C-alpha cells in the first residue's frame, strides 16, 4: 500500500454524546457540516480555520434520523427519520418550513436535484417518492422494489434516478416520468446480495454499487456489465451490515474511489487498477464509517463513524 494522500485536520470524538450517528453532509459552500443521530436531532457545525464549532441543534423529529442533505442552493437542509416524515429546514432561521408526509415506514435516504426544487426519498416501505418541495407534496411514487430502499443517486443532469434496494436490484428511473428505464442485478455467483449503496460517476456513465457481500462494483449500465470490482484486503468484506457511503475522488488529477468499512477505516482504491491504495483510520474504537463526504471531488473529506466520531481530512497529494 502507498502512503495516504489525506491528513487529519480536525476531529470531534463524540458528536451526539453516546447516541449513534447515521451520516454527515457538507454544505455546498463548504462552510457548514451537519450530522444526524438516533437522538432525534440534527447538529450543524461551523467548519472554520480554527476548528469545528457547534452552531446549533435542530429538534423536531420524533424518532432517529437516517439521512440529511443540504440543498444545492445552500438555503435548506432536508432530513428523513424513522418517524415516517421528511423535514425541510431553513438554514437561516433554523426552523422547519416543510413537513413531507406520505411514507408508511422508515425513510432511509434523501437526494435534492440541482435546482433545489425536487427532493427524492427512499423508504423501508419499498417506495421511492419524488417530492415537489414548494407545494410540500409527493409528485409521484416509484414502486418497483420489493425490499427497503437503501440508497439513491441522481445523474448530473437530474434526468435519471438510480436506486439500490435490499432486494438486490439496482434500478434506473426517468426522473421526469417516473418510468423504470433499466434494472441491474449481479447474480453471477449464485444469488444476489442486498445493495447498500449506489453512486453515479461524475459523468453519470457508470454506477458504483456497494452490496452486502462486502464488495464494490462499477457498472457500465448501458451494457449491463460490471467493469471493475473493488475488494478489501485478504478477502475481508467492506460492508456486510451497514449502508456505507462511497465517493469518486478526481480532485487534482486523482482517479480514486473511497468507501468506509465496518472496522473504522476509510479505504481508497485506484479506479483503473482496482488496487487498494491506502486506508485511513477514522475511528478509535473500530466503529463502522457510516459516511465519507467529499468537497469539490476530494479537496477535503469529512467522515463520520457510527459512534459519532467526526473527522475532517485534507488532501495533501
Residue ranges that bind another protein, judged by CB under 8 A: 72-73, 75-76, 88, 90, 97-98, 113-118, 132-135, 139, 144, 155-157, 159-160, 172, 174-177, 179-185, 188-189, 201-206, 218, 220, 222, 224-229, 248, 250, 255, 271-274
CB of 164 to another protein, least distance (A): 15
What is the nearest approach in angstroms of another protein to the Cβ of residue 90? 8
Secondary structure of the chain as H, E, C letters: CCCCCEEEEEEECCCCCCCCEEEEEECCCCCEEEEEECCCEEEEEEEECCEEEEEEEEECCCCCEEEEEECCCCCEEEEEECCCEEEEEECCCCCEEEEEECCCCCEEEEEECCCCCEEEEEECCCCEEEEECCCCEEEEEECCCCCCEEEEEECCCCCEEEEEECCCEEEEEECCCCCEEEEEECCCCCCCCCEEEEEECCCCCEEEEEECCCEEEEEEHHHCEEEEEECCHHHCCCCCCCCCCEEEECHHHCCEEEEECCCCEEEEEECCCCCEEEEEECCCCCCCEEEEEEECCCCEEEEEECCCCEEEEEECC
As measured in angstroms, the least distance from the Cβ of 154 to another protein is: 10
Of 62 and 114, nearer to another protein (C-beta) is: 114
* Closest CB to another protein among residues 45, 173: 173
Shortest Cβ distance from residue 266 to another protein (Å)?
19
Residue closer to another protein (CB basis): 2 or 183: 183
Q: How far is the CB of 93 from another protein (least distance, A)?
A: 9
Per-residue cell: 234 = 485478504
| Cα 292–chain centre separation | 8
CB of 294 to another protein, least distance (A): 14
Q: Kindly tell me which of 73 and 236 has the beta carbon lying closer to another protein.
A: 73
Between 238 and 271, CB nearer to another protein = 271
- Please identify, using beta-carbon distances, which residue of 267 and 282 lies nearer to another protein: 267
| Alpha-carbon gap, residue 302 to 13, rounded angstroms | 13
Task: Output 201 or 279, the one with its CB closest to another protein.
Answer: 201
Q: How far is the CB of 10 from another protein (least distance, A)?
A: 28
Amino acid at each position: 500500500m502507498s502512503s495516504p494522500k489525506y491528513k487529519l485536520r480536525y476531529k470531534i470524538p463524540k458528536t451526539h454524546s453516546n447516541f449513534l450517528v447515521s451520516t454527515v453532509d457538507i454544505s455546498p459552500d463548504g462552510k457548514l457540516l451537519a450530522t444526524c443521530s438516533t437522538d432525534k436531532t440534527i447538529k450543524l457545525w461551523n467548519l472554520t480555520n480554527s476548528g469545528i464549532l457547534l452552531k446549533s441543534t435542530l429538534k423536531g423529529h420524533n424518532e432517529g434520523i437516517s439521512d440529511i442533505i443540504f440543498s444545492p442552493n445552500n438555503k435548506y437542509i432536508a432530513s428523513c427519520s424513522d418517524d415516517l416524515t421528511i423535514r425541510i429546514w431553513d438554514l437561516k432561521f433554523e426552523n422547519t418550513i416543510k413537513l413531507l408526509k406520505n411514507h408508511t415506514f422508515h425513510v432511509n435516504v434523501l437526494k435534492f436535484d440541482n435546482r433545489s426544487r425536487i427532493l427524492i426519498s427512499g423508504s423501508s416501505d419499498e417506495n421511492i417518492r419524488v417530492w415537489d418541495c414548494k407545494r410540500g407534496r409527493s409528485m409521484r411514487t416509484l414502486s418497483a422494489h420489493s425490499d427497503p430502499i437503501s440508497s439513491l443517486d441522481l445523474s448530473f443532469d437530474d434526468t435519471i434516478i438510480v436506486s439500490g434496494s435490499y432486494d438486490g436490484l439496482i434500478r434506473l428511473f426517468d426522473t421526469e416520468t417516473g418510468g423504470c428505464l433499466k434494472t441491474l442485478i449481479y447474480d453471477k455467483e449464485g444469488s444476489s446480495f442486498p445493495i447498500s449503496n449506489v453512486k453515479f460517476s461524475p459523468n453519470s456513465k457508470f454506477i458504483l454499487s456497494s452490496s452486502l457481500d462486502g464488495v464494490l462494483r462499477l457498472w457500465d449500465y448501458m451494457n449491463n456489465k460490471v467493469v471493475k470490482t473493488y475488494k478489501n484486503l485478504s478477502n475481508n468484506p467492506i460492508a456486510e451490515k451497514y449502508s456505507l457511503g462511497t465517493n469518486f475522488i478526481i480532485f487534482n488529477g486523482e482517479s480514486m474511489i473511497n468507501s468506509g468499512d465496518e472496522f473504522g477505516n476509510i479505504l481508497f482504491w485506484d479506479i483503473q487498477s482496482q488496487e487498494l491504495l491506502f486506508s485511513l483510520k477514522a475511528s478509535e474504537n473500530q466503529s463502522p464509517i457510516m459516511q465519507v463526504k467529499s468537497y469539490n471531488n476530494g479537496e477535503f473529506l469529512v467522515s463520520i463513524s457510527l459512534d459519532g466520531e467526526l473527522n475532517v481530512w485534507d488532501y495533501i497529494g
